[in-house]
């Protein structure tokens, strides 16, 4: 799209509700605070776009390229983002609740404090990303890869995380209560004060006792894999036996 057309869109950004911009070349466009409710942006090129504060509710961005875009405090409820590229984006305090983000690329993005409740993020890649304080309650993240990401104090209760990867991620103080964690991979994940009450880890992978001993779990409702043996000594103390290292990785290197 030529500069004149882009300039025209920027001037009319408050009135783009329902606009058809499928496949449009909009790299670097400034649509901050724009009104794009219900817009069609399938396969659009929005690399480096300024969308901070924009309203994208009910918009279709399937396959769109938003690499490096600014989506700070964007409103994107009930949107379609399947297969979109959202890597290296600023999504701080954004609202993507009830949206479909299946297969998206969110690698190295900042999602701190974002609202992703009741979203579909199956098979997404969210590696080396900052998800500190994110709200993901009741979301589906089956086979989602969150390797090397920060999930400190993340709200993830009631999530379907079957087959998710938390390899070397920081889950300190995250809430994973009542979540499905079957086949989830916890290799080298940090889990200090993670809430595992009523969580199902019955077939979780690479879980070690040094991780379990840092978590908060319920002896009646938390389900651990068979290779993790919990022997209760009293009402509040227990002994954990299982394979793998007994101390965190950085301590074994010293």
The answer on pLDDT for 149 being more than 60 is yes
The answer on pLDDT for 35 being more than 70 is yes
Mind listing the pLDDT tens digit for each residue in 80-125? Answer: 999 999 999 999 999 999 999 999 999 999 999 999 999 999 999 9
Across the strands, what pairs with 140? 120, 160
* The predicted structure's pLDDT at residue 33: 97
The answer on pLDDT for 253 being more than 70 is no
**Percentage, residues of the chain above pLDDT 70:** 97
3-state secondary structure 85-98: ECCCCECCCCECCC
Mean pLDDT of 57-84: 98
Closest CA to 30 of 44, 16, 9: 9
The answer on pLDDT for 70 being more than 90 is yes
| Number of other residues whose CB lies within 10 A of the CB of residue 19 | 20
Largest Cα span, the chain: 74
6 in helix, strand or coil? helix
The answer on pLDDT for 251 being more than 70 is no
Mind listing the pLDDT tens digit for each residue in 170-187? Answer: 999 999 999 999 999 999
* Average per-residue pLDDT for the chain: 96
The answer on pLDDT for 167 being more than 90 is yes
* The predicted structure's pLDDT at residue 252: 53
The helix/strand count (H/E) of the chain reads as: 3, 2
Mind listing the pLDDT tens digit for each residue in 219-249? Answer: 999 999 999 999 999 988 999 999 887 677 6
* The predicted structure's pLDDT at residue 246: 67
For residues 158 and 179, the answer to whether their CB atoms sit within 8 Å is yes
pLDDT category, 254, cuts 50, 70, 90? very low
The answer on pLDDT for 196 being more than 90 is yes
In a 10 Å sphere around its CB, with 0-12 CB exposed, 13-18 middle and 19+ buried, how is residue 184 labelled?
Answer: buried
DSSP at 189:
-
More confident residue, 250 or 4: 4
- For the ranges 52-66, 76-90, 157-171, 236-250, which has the lowest average pLDDT? 236-250
Closest CA to 52 of 20, 94, 80, 88: 94
First to last CA, the chain: 57
**Can you list the domains of the chain with their CATH numbers?**
1-107 (2.160.20.80), 111-254 (2.160.20.80)
* The predicted structure's pLDDT at residue 248: 76
* The predicted structure's pLDDT at residue 3: 84
Cα–Cα distance, 78 to 76 (Å, whole number): 7
* The predicted structure's pLDDT at residue 138: 98
């Amino acid at each position: 799209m030529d500069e004149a057309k882009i300039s025209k869109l920027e001037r009319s950004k408050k009135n783009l509700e329902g606009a058809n911009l499928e496949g449009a070349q909009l790299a670097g466009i400034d649509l901050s605070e724009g009104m794009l409710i219900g817009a069609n942006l399938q396969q659009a090129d929005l690399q480096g776009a300024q969308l901070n504060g924009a309203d994208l509710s009910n918009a279709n961005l399937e396959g769109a390229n938003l690499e490096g875009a600014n989506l700070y405090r964007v409103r994107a409820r009930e949107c379609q983002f399947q297969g979109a590229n959202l890597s290296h984006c600023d999504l701080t305090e954004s609202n993507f609740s009830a949206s479909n983000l299946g297969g998206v690329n969110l690698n190295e993005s900042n999602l701190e404090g974002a609202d992703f409740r009741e979203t579909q993020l199956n098979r997404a890649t969210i590696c080396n990303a900052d998800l500190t304080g994110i709200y993901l309650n009741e979301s589906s993240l089956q086979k989602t890869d969150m390797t090397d990401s920060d999930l400190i104090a993340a709200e993830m209760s009631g999530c379907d995380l079957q087959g998710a990867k938390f390899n070397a991620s920081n889950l300190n103080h995250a809430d994973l209560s009542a979540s499905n964690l079957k086949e989830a991979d916890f290799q080298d994940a940090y889990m200090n004060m993670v809430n595992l009450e009523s969580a199902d880890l019955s077939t979780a992978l690479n879980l070690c006792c040094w991780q379990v001993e840092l978590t908060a779990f319920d002896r009646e409702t938390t389900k651990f894999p068979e290779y993790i043996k919990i022997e209760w000594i009293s009402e509040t103390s227990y002994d954990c036996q299982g394979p793998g290292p007994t101390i965190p990785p950085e301590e074994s290197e010293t």
